[in-house]
Structure 1
Amino acid sequence: MATAPTPAPENFMARFGARLVDNGYPVIPIWPGTKKPGRYLCNAWADYPCWTRHCDRPTTVIEAETWASWPEAAIGLACGGLVGIDIDVLDSDIAHQLERLARDMLGDTPLLRIGRAPKRLLVYRAEVPFSGPKRAPLEILAQGRQFVAFAVHPDTGRPYDWPEDSPLTVAFEDLPVVTEDSARAWLDAAIALLPPALRPATLVSQPAATPATSPQRGTLAAVRSALAHLPNADLDYDSWVRVGMAVKGAVGEDGASLFSAWSGLSAKDVPATTAKAWTSFRPTIIGAGTLYHLALERGWQPDPTMVLDGTVPQDAVHPAAGLLAKLEAAPADPVPPVQPFDLDIPDGVLGDMVGYMLATARRPQPELSLGASLCAIGALMGRKYRTESNLRSNLYIIALADSGSGKNHSREIINELFFEAGLAQYLGGNKIASGAGLLTALHRQPAMLLQIDEFGMFLEGIADRRRSPRHLTEILDNMTELFTSAGGVFLGAEYANRDGKNERRDINQPCLCVYGTTAPTRFWNALQSANVVDGSLARFIVLATSNEYPDENDGTGIRTAPAALLERLKLIAQGGGHAPAGNLAGLTADPTTAVDPMVVPMDAQAKAAFRDLSVHITERLREARGTAFTPILARIGENAAKVALIRAVSIDPVAPVIRGDDADWAIRFVGTCADRTMGEIDRHVADNDIERSHKRLLEIVRSAGPTGISKSDLIRRSQFLDRRQRDEVIAVLVEGGMIEPVMKATATKPAMRFRSIGREAW
């Protein structure tokens, strides 16, 4: 007897995605067999780190069409405007009772989803997006959350069920509206209906405000006594953190052993995790008052003779002397250090290209792959897209990594992709022989990507105006001018032209993208202060790898470019299909040839983000007046807008819109790179011995970290200076606000330390 063939796994996205988008729902792809968002890269499913972007905007048709091609793609709905009331209860009677309560208090929604019965989820529409609380087994899925809508449930092996209506038949705008207050009111009422065994283990249902009369600082004896009345058998994480914060706010580091012992009462305690959490606690408005309040609620009756207030001295010794000494020794308003930029790879063509580079690299380098992909897509977009302020996609990016770290791989992938997609005309040569040669190449192909290896060596030749020949220094001059001419006409040089063979060559809307790789030391040594001041460096985004030598990828070998990626690169090169009129329109550099790029609008959130950036940059420019950093600061907004433009087009080449998350990501990316560039200039770039001495001593202080360095250690590490020189350099650095002296308490007498003053974080 023949066996019936196994049915092919269903692609829910291909079947339902377009209809859900038409009904106004924020659709996201779900990794098959799971409940989490995913994306399909390089023939495999992977996490989708930026899926929350869909909480704030409608899903586009092109996104749904792309996801529909992913095998077995399931469907989730992103919450924000959408709200899910998740009843994670396996008791059928209680689940039905909680559902009825939701319908009575929030409205009779037509959308009920069943995954693993009797658990259920009801769907509503938010009046205004809000953050939803979770009090297991109940949760309000709101801003930044998602739920699975159409998929095979990983536990039951059956599709999720919509027993009444479904999002396929009910439009988003027809759902009942809920507010944050009404949703929280339902949650409070629902928790009260749960039997005690199902209620969440927590010390407080709502954060209890510390009474105004309660002191933040306590005494060790009182804190120890209060902790003895707080249960910790199976406490939830939030309450555990709250107690730890309160203990630290009450007695500072002296409470570490108390919190560790109290945490150890739970079977869930992991000592290493407890110690790490304690180190991370930074209490500001929580302390003894909160701890005492929680203990009093549970029957604590402190001894009348016990001192509770840690600000009251007793026996001539202050009960919180250790904490107060640290507070007094610390500066009142420390300058925050530059925070690392958490590199999250965007989706769209940009993310697909980066993902392909990483999957095929022997040593994957995310930062370098991102920089190369931005320049590559920027070149394809050249003369086809622009912002509302007429900015274009021309970028100059320098990627820094040591030899042997995998710098070449991104360039190889771009070359292969462009050749396979029939876009090789966008690739410039690997070397530039002269300024005239650069202009000749751009006149032939006005949108071009130059990929230059050993950019530090190249920079040495084009940046040294005292020793390099004119035809080399003209390269940097032309690159500087081309950067600002992308939205207009670049006017070529005038020559004697006696024989009529050397006419001026003008280029209409040139788009030159440059991606250079080099070793960090070679690059900074090649740079001179003049390049910082004249603005030539400011046009570059300098991007350094976070891991010089990542683990090798053993799975690399013969590679085949994804067909979908090639097609989307072609679509971008075609301007999303919006071809201008005329056979040669946009194809030549002649100023008389029509070039009419698509205008990519910004939504309100993106405009607000760039307005805030403008205010921020203006403040920093005023602070940096007279320094070499003003050109770099002044270019942050322009480069961020270009990066946001590329990110938006890579997501939707046909109808791109620069949205708020595009702007936020680009601003953080470019701003962090700019801050790091200025930091490296501080450390390395010097044109004379005096300046070099200042930078060497400053680097010694910086390398000591936030605790600083003692004066005796500083003397030992700066033997390249005599006493007079050292004192003069220290005085200059202090007066310039680059380092500061800090008095630190010791067992004998206060000692002076020096520490650097960091830059403002983005």
Structure 2
Amino acid sequence: METQASKLTDECAWELYDRGFTVIPLGSPFETPPPYFVNKRFDGNKEKAQQEWPKQARVPWAKFQKVTPSLEDMDYWTASYPRANWAIVTGTRVIVVDADSEEAVQFMESGTIGRTPWKVKTGKGKHFYYAVNPNVEIRNSVNAHSKIDIRGLGGYVVAPGSTHANGNRYEWEYDASWVIDSIDDLPCLSEEDLQAIQQFNGRNVLNKSSQVKTNSPKPNPEVTGNLGFNTADYQPKASGEAVSEGSRNQSAVSLTGQYIASGTDLRTIKQMLDTWNTGNSPPLDPSELNTCIASTILTHLRKHPHDVIPVQPAPPEPAKASNLSLPDSGGMPGHLYDIPGVLGEVVQFANQTARRKQPALAVQSALALGSVVCGRYYKTDKGNFSSLYFLNIAKSASGKEHCKDVVEQILEASGYGRLISGSGYTSSGALFSELLHEPNHISIIDEFGKYLEGSQHKMNPHKAEAITRLVEAWSKCGSSLYPPVYSTMGMSKQAAEEMRKRCIKHPALTLLALTTPGTFYGALSPELVKDGFLGRFIVMESQLKRQVSSDPGLIEVPENITKWVATIRENLAGNLTSHMPPENKPAQNILVFEEAALQRLKALDQEIIQKMDELEQYGIEVLLGRTREKAMRIALILALSVDPFAETITRQVTGWAIDYVRYHDYYMVDTVVNRVGGSSFETQLKECVHEIEKAKERGLTLYEIGRNPSFSKMRGKERKEILDDICSRGHARLIQVAKPTGGRPRMAYVHANFC
């Protein structure tokens, strides 16, 4: 325990130092306090001294209230005190509110005090981190009778990574919905916040010991060219509001700050805040909303005088040179968000019920629903069925899981919950057994990247077999799927004969897989590309950043959608029931492609052949081998979406299907070219180059590389080989990078585009 704690606290100290915090060493709960501390401070009471020693500064630290410790200081401290706790000095760059009880934490998180995305779980409560307010000087306020202490000028707090005397660790607790790059981007405590804390403490603690100093407010300057409207017209209100209403203002400020930090232009910010405000009950007055936006922008520009907030979206960056002449993959074309027919209503329902909206993933949800509902009982005159595999890639906590809820909710509400299968298949036998039970079903696989990763592990050949059988099942919609041959020795003649007869006529399997970019691209291997598995998926990678969640309330599935599901299932050829035994070939409704639709498909075929020829040099032409087939399957679904009694597939729905599949397949080709090599080493190398490029001019230090998922799965020797190869090929360089906030420079690997 001591060795682990020692290692972790040293690493945390350097990490905090690199992030701009002023840190000093404290005592340690893993050692006995020195005699001077026990005798002079606690009159020989060893038990009490042991409780306080982990919070005691073990170096003179007054000067570090004004200056940052040097590298030599840090080297000496980490070497001299290997098991130390660490503290963050407050007042110059950061203010910390210390809520030391459950009641105090509840108050801080109730909305009365401005929210902050950086918190630390302590031994008894939480620390809440804020940036220093240039208009309010806050000194250290610690009082035995206070429920909440303020750590400002002249104070420090125990840093995350340290260990409390009771054995609890101090741990970061981040709010992922905020985009925070540095300490300076944290929100500030206002005078109203300080007064509210005083009232909670039940005494005028701050006036006695904090010595709050407020600069006289300056009128807002008239700023127009950089903002798009005159901020002088929207003066911030001087008085506070009730919590129920104040939370709206606070949320508006929070959202504006996040969008500014992410580089969003003002016009888009205004549109997004207006849309958000319509869902409030009641909405903020437009003038009041503009006040929140204007004051947030002015605060940001005051703190970051060199920043420029664009009024309109920046034009797209020119595409990188490529031999493939692939279309821009920066965002899905607008018309692809509008699915023809009832499935368009499914998209609307998905967006209305989402806590974090993902419109592109909602389209995938609707198509997956159509795929499983149409099942094995509808086909085109060219032999195409509706079964499809979908893959949704989005960041964690960004709303990708909602597509699963939408499909399940609609099937359950329509009375077809039995079409929902489990989350993935542990072996080829499991897949076959599930198809025997229900030849037409949907499997929704969460954490699909980890599923792929498991399938490539040498100790788990069963998942690899399941992948092979999934590839086969995709192509068997129009024929039969047979199980592996097993020995019938020891079986009765009747049992052996039944086993030989087992087969699945027209298996109709729909997959809806969910994953994060990191786990998916980390598991994506050349083998999965070349064996055609990836090419059978329609892959959608969301480009949206994480969003603050909303509460849409309880919304029932629209009756029009459930009626459509029932009509499709009950209108089966020959008045069949909706469940057919797997060994029986079902009769099917056949829809005929119009001649104009076939001409569109022929043009697509010619285009795809040309693209495949270009991709042959990369060995990934197989990625486009199923593009035409996928478009024809979607066209079948869309024709039934427009008219459940349709007999033809029109040029219009075929054109939409072609545009949709072509966009996503080309995007995936572009991604694979940039991120997957011809071998496992090349794939790893490309993924690591991508991670370094994402860090832009800031680069990645060795410390950060060791914690990056793309690098951390390697051993130290492998990581060094990858980094050496990246540098030798000219993809990146190890250089000294100056910190934008000052302090010692960092040695970091920086991509060649930013050197």
Q: TM-score range by the shorter chain?
A: 0.3 to 0.5
TM-score of the superposed pair, with normalisation by structure 2:
0.48
TM-score of the superposed pair, with normalisation by structure 1:
0.47
